[in-house]
C-alpha cells in the first residue's frame, strides 16, 4: 500500500520535473527567438536608415540631372519621415521603386562619367551596396519573425503564456528589389 | 517671336497642364508666333507638327503617389537637342518644380526663361524637401507666372519670390458654334445644367426643386442634365409625373458639352459655393447661352453683376424658379443676355490671355536684342 503511494508520488514527481524541464526549454527557446527578432529588426532598421542617408547624399552632391535628384530626395525624405510600420513599408517600397526608375538606365555610369566628381562612382556603388543590404536584412528579419510566430502558435505556449508580454512580431513587407545600376544586365 | 513651350506631363493623358499648354500654343500661333512644344509622349501617338515628343514617361513614386514623368540623362539630352535646334527667343516652361522635362529645360538652357506654376497644394512638403536640388535650376527663370492666387501662394511658400497672375484662358472657339442635340430645345422651352450630380455644392438639388414648381406651371418645359454621378438620386428628387421631362446625358466630352450649351433656352449654374472661377460658366458664355446663375461672388464677378447673365439668391429654389420664369417668358431678354455673355467672355479668351503672356516674354527678353541671341544650351552642354 505504502509502496504503491510512494511509487505513484515518485512517478508524478518525475513527470512534473520532466514537464517543467520541457516548459522551461520552450520558454528559453522563445526568449532566444525574441532576441533574434530584436537583433534582426535593429539590423533592418540600420540598413534602411543607411540606404536613405546614402540616397540623400546622392541626391545632394552628385552630377545627376535635377529631375532625378528631386525624385530621389523626395522618396528618401518620405522614407525617413514615415511614422508607423505600415506607412514605413509603403515609403520604403516607394524609395526602392524610385531608385530603380532613376538608376536602371543603360550606360548611366558612362553618362555620369566625365562630369562626375571623382567619388561619384563610389557613391553609386555605395547606393547599390546599401540597397542590397536592405534586401538581405529584410530576409533575415522576416525569417526570424516566421520562426517566432510559429513557436508562439503552440497550445502550451498560449495556455501558459510563455511569451509573457512580448508583442507578436510583424513581418516587414516591402518591395526591396535593388536597382541594377547602369542597366548591366 | 520663336517660342519653346515645355510640358512636364505625358501628352496622351488628358490633364489641366497639357490642355493649358496646347491651348496657349494654338493661341500664340494664331497671333503669328512660331511655337514648338516639347512633351513626354508614348511612342506611336499622332502629334501635330508643332508638338515634339521627348520620348515616353516613366511611372515613378513622387509626392505620395505614382506620377508619369520624364527624367534621366537621355531625357536631358533630348531637351538639349530640342533647344539647340529650336533657336528660341524665349523658353516657356510649365510646372518647373515637377521633376520632369521643364526642370531639365531650366537646367540646360541659357537665355530668357519664363515659367508658369499651376499647382496649388498647401500640404505638399515635396517642394521644400527637394528645394536644394530645385533651387539651382529654378534660379535661371527670369519671369514667373501663376495661374491662380492659390498657385501663387504655394509658390511663395515653398520657393520664395513672387509671380505675376495670369489665369487659365477659355477656349472660346471650342464652344462658339455647335449643333443643338436632336430635338432640343423644343417648343416648350428647356433648361440646362452641367456638373457633378452628386456634389451638393454644384447645386443640382436646388435646380430640381425649382423644376418641380416650374414643370407644373409650364407643361412643355424640359430639363437637360449632363455630368458624372449617380442619376438615380437626382431623378428621385423630381416629382414622378415630371420625370419623363428630364434628360440625363452622364459624362460628356468637350464637343458634346458645346452641344449642350446650344441645346437649351436657359443655362443654369445653381452652385451654392466652392467655385473660385466658374469654368462651366465661361464655357456657356462662349457658347452664347442665356445664363441664370446663383449670386456667389465668383459668378457675380464673371457675369459682371448680372449684366452678362441673370442672378438669383444662392440656394433658394423659389428665387430660381421666379428668375427662370421671367427669362423663359422673354425672348428679347434672352437674346440680350446671350450677346452680353459673348462680349463679357472675351476678357477670358485664350486670345486675350496669350497677349498677356507675350507681354511677359517681351519683358524678359533683353531690350533691343530680341532676335540677336536665341536661347542656347548653357554649361551643361557636353560639346
Q: Can you give the pLDDT at residue B379?
A: 54
Across the interface, do A77 and B130 touch by the CB < 8 Å criterion? yes
Contact B64 A78 (CB under 8 A): yes
Output the pLDDT for position B383: 42
Q: For chain B, how many helices (H) and strands (E)?
A: 15, 17
Q: Residue B355 has which C-alpha cell? A: 497677349
pLDDT of B110 higher than 50: yes
Distance CA B286, CA B306 (A): 16
Mean pLDDT of chain B: 86
Residue A143 Cα, gap to closest chain B Cα (Å) = 28
C-beta atoms of B104 and A65 within 8 A? yes
Mean pLDDT of B224-240: 85
Residue A115: list chain B partners with CB under 8 A.
382
**CB-closest option in A66, A73, A74 to B137:** A66
For the residues B295-324, what does the mean pLDDT come to?
A: 88
Using DSSP bridges, classify how beta strands B2-6 and B143-146 pair: parallel, antiparallel or unpaired.
unpaired
User: What is the three-class DSSP state of A68?
Assistant: helix
- Chain B residues inside the 8 Å CB shell of A73: 129-130, 132-133
Cβ contact (<8 Å) for A65 and B69?
no
Confidence category of residue B196, pLDDT binned at 50, 70, 90: confident
Give the count of Cβ contacts less than 8 A between chain A and B: 88
Q: Which residues of B touch A71 (CB under 8 A)?
A: 60, 62, 69, 71, 99
pLDDT at B49 over 90: yes
- Please tell me whether the overall predicted TM-score, pTM, comes out greater than 0.80 for this model: no
- In angstroms, the separation between the Cα of residue A73 and the nearest Cα of chain B is 6
Collect all residues of chain B within an 8 Å Cβ-Cβ radius of residue A78: 64, 129
Better-predicted residue by pLDDT, B229 or B326: B326
Contact A67 B75 (CB under 8 A): yes
- Banded pLDDT at B311 (limits 50, 70, 90): very high
Task: Please indicate whether, in this complex, the C-beta atoms of B107 and A68 are within 8 angstroms of each other.
Answer: no
Domains and CATH numbers, chain A: 26-159 (1.20.1440)
A41-70 residue pLDDT tens: 999 999 999 999 999 988 887 678 889 999
Kindly state the average pLDDT of the residues B186-191: 86
Nearest neighbour of A77 by CB, restricted to B70, B100, B129: B129
Residue B246, classed as helix, strand or coil, is strand
Cell (9 digits) for A185: 544586365
Task: Tell me which range, A126-140, A146-160, B183-197, B224-238, is most confidently predicted by mean pLDDT.
Answer: A126-140
Identify all chain B residues contacting A57, using CB atoms and an 8 Å cutoff: none
DSSP string, B304-368: GGGTSSEEE-TT-HHHHHHHHHHHHT-HHHHHHHHHHHHHHHGGGBHHHHHHHHHHHHHHHSPTT
At residue B120, the pLDDT reads 67
Q: Tell me what the mean pLDDT of segment A7-31 comes to.
A: 90
Give the closest-approach CA distance of B102 to chain A in angstroms.
Answer: 9
The Cα B331–Cα B91 span in angstroms is: 49
Verify whether the Cβ–Cβ distance B72 to A74 is below 8 Å.
no
Minimal Cβ distance to B71: which of A71, A78, A97: A71
SS3 state of residue B291: strand
Beta bridge pairs of residue B145? B116, B164
Rounded to whole angstroms, the Cα distance separating A168 from A162 reads 12
B373-382 pLDDT per residue, tens: 778 887 544 4
Confidence of residue B129 (pLDDT cuts 50, 70, 90): low
pLDDT at A185: 45
If you average pLDDT over residues A87-94, what whole number do you get? 94
Q: Using CB atoms, which residue from A75, A77, A102 is nearest to B72?
A: A102
Kindly tell me if the per-residue pLDDT of A164 is higher than 60.
yes
What is chain B's alpha carbon radius of gyration, rounded to the nearest angstrom? 23
Bond before A121 cis per omega within 30 degrees: no
CA distance B339 to B307: 10
What proportion of chain B, given as a percentage, has pLDDT over 90? 42
Q: Side by side, which strands form the sheet with B266-269?
A: B246-248, B222-226, B190-194, B266-269, B291-294, B310-312
The per-residue pLDDT for range B58-97, each reduced to its tens digit, is 999 988 888 899 998 889 999 999 999 999 999 999 999 8
Mutate to test the interface with B, among A55, A61, A67, A79 (most CBs of B within 10 A): A67
Rg (CA), chain A: 25
Nearest to A68 among B59, B71, B132 (CB): B71
pLDDT of res. B382: 47
Q: Encode pLDDT of A102-117 as tens digits.
A: 998 776 776 666 544 5
The arithmetic mean of pLDDT across residues B93-109, rounded, is 92
Lowest mean pLDDT among B4-8, B300-304, B308-312: B300-304
Average pLDDT of chain A? 87
pLDDT of residue B217: 87
**What's the rounded mean pLDDT across residues B199-216?**
87
The angle, 0 to 180 degrees and rounded to 10, between the axes of the packed helices B131-138 and A66-81 is 160
Q: Which residues of B touch A79 (CB under 8 A)?
A: none
Sign of the torsion angle spanned by Cα atoms B24, B29, B33, B36: positive
pLDDT > 70 fraction of chain B, expressed in percent and rounded? 93
| Residues sharing a CB contact under 8 Å with residue B373, sequence separation 6 or more, in sequence order | B111, B366
Domains of chain B listed by start with CATH number: 2-169+350-377 (3.40.50.2000), 173-347 (3.40.50.2000)
On whether the CB atoms of residues A173 and A146 are closer than 8 A, the answer is no
Tell me the mean pLDDT in the region B257-269: 92
Within 8 A of B70 by CB-CB distance, chain A residues are 67
Largest interatomic CA distance in chain A = 98
pLDDT at A184 over 70: no
* pLDDT for res A97: 95
Amino acid at each position: 500500500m505504502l509502496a504503491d503511494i510512494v511509487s505513484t508520488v515518485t512517478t508524478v514527481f518525475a513527470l512534473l520535473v520532466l514537464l517543467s524541464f520541457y516548459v522551461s526549454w520552450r520558454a528559453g527557446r522563445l526568449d532566444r527567438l525574441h532576441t533574434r527578432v530584436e537583433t534582426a529588426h535593429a539590423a533592418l532598421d540600420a540598413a534602411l536608415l543607411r540606404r536613405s542617408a546614402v540616397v540623400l547624399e546622392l541626391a545632394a552632391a552628385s552630377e545627376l540631372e535635377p529631375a532625378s535628384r528631386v525624385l530621389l530626395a523626395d522618396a528618401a525624405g518620405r522614407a525617413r519621415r514615415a511614422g508607423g510600420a505600415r506607412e514605413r513599408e509603403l515609403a520604403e517600397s516607394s524609395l526602392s521603386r524610385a531608385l530603380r526608375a532613376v538608376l536602371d538606365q543603360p550606360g548611366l555610369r558612362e553618362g555620369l562619367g566625365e562630369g562626375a566628381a571623382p567619388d561619384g562612382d563610389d557613391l553609386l556603388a555605395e547606393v547599390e551596396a546599401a540597397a542590397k543590404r536592405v534586401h538581405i536584412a529584410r530576409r533575415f528579419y522576416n525569417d526570424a519573425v516566421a520562426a517566432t510566430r510559429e513557436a508562439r502558435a503552440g497550445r502550451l505556449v498560449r495556455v501558459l503564456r510563455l511569451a509573457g508580454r512580448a508583442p507578436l512580431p510583424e513581418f516587414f513587407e516591402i518591395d526591396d528589389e535593388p536597382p541594377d545600376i547602369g542597366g548591366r544586365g | 517671336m520663336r517660342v519653346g513651350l515645355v510640358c512636364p506631363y505625358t501628352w496622351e493623358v488628358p490633364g489641366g497642364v497639357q490642355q493649358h499648354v496646347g491651348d496657349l500654343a494654338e493661341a500664340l500661333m494664331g497671333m503669328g508666333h512660331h511655337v514648338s512644344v516639347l512633351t513626354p509622349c508614348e511612342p506611336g501617338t499622332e502629334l501635330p507638327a508643332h508638338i515634339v515628343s521627348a520620348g515616353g514617361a516613366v511611372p515613378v513614386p513622387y509626392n505620395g503617389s505614382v506620377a508619369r514623368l520624364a527624367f534621366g540623362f537621355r531625357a536631358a539630352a533630348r531637351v538639349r537637342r530640342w533647344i539647340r535646334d529650336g533657336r528660341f527667343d524665349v523658353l516657356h516652361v510649365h510646372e518647373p518644380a515637377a521633376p520632369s522635362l521643364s526642370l531639365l529645360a531650366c537646367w540646360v538652357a541659357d537665355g530668357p526663361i519664363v515659367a508658369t506654376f499651376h499647382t496649388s497644394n498647401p500640404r505638399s512638403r515635396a517642394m521644400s524637401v527637394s528645394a536644394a536640388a530645385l533651387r539651382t535650376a529654378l534660379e535661371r527663370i527670369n519671369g514667373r507666372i501663376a495661374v491662380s492666387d492659390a498657385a501663387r501662394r504655394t509658390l511663395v511658400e515653398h520657393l520664395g519670390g513672387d509671380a505675376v497672375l495670369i489665369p487659365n484662358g477659355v477656349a472660346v472657339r471650342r464652344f462658339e458654334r455647335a449643333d443643338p442635340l436632336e430635338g432640343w430645345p423644343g417648343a416648350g422651352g428647356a433648361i440646362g445644367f452641367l456638373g457633378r450630380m452628386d456634389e451638393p455644392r454644384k447645386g443640382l438639388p436646388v435646380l430640381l426643386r425649382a423644376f418641380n414648381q416650374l414643370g407644373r406651371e409650364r407643361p412643355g418645359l424640359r430639363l437637360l442634365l449632363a455630368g458624372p454621378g449617380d442619376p438615380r438620386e437626382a431623378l428621385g428628387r423630381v416629382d414622378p409625373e415630371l420625370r419623363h421631362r428630364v434628360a440625363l446625358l452622364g459624362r460628356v466630352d468637350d464637343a458634346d458639352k458645346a452641344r449642350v450649351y446650344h441645346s437649351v433656352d436657359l443655362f443654369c449654374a445653381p452652385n451654392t459655393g466652392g467655385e473660385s472661377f466658374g469654368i462651366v460658366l465661361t464655357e456657356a458664355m462662349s457658347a452664347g447661352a442665356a445664363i441664370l446663375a446663383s449670386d456667389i461672388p465668383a459668378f457675380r464677378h464673371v457675369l459682371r453683376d448680372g449684366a452678362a447673365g441673370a442672378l438669383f439668391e444662392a440656394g433658394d429654389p423659389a428665387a430660381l424658379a421666379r428668375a427662370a420664369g421671367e427669362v423663359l417668358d422673354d425672348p428679347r431678354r434672352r437674346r440680350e443676355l446671350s450677346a452680353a455673355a459673348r462680349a463679357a467672355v472675351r476678357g477670358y479668351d485664350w486670345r486675350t490671355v496669350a497677349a498677356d503672356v507675350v507681354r511677359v516674354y517681351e519683358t524678359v527678353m533683353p531690350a533691343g536684342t530680341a532676335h540677336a541671341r536665341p536661347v542656347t544650351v548653357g554649361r551643361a552642354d557636353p560639346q
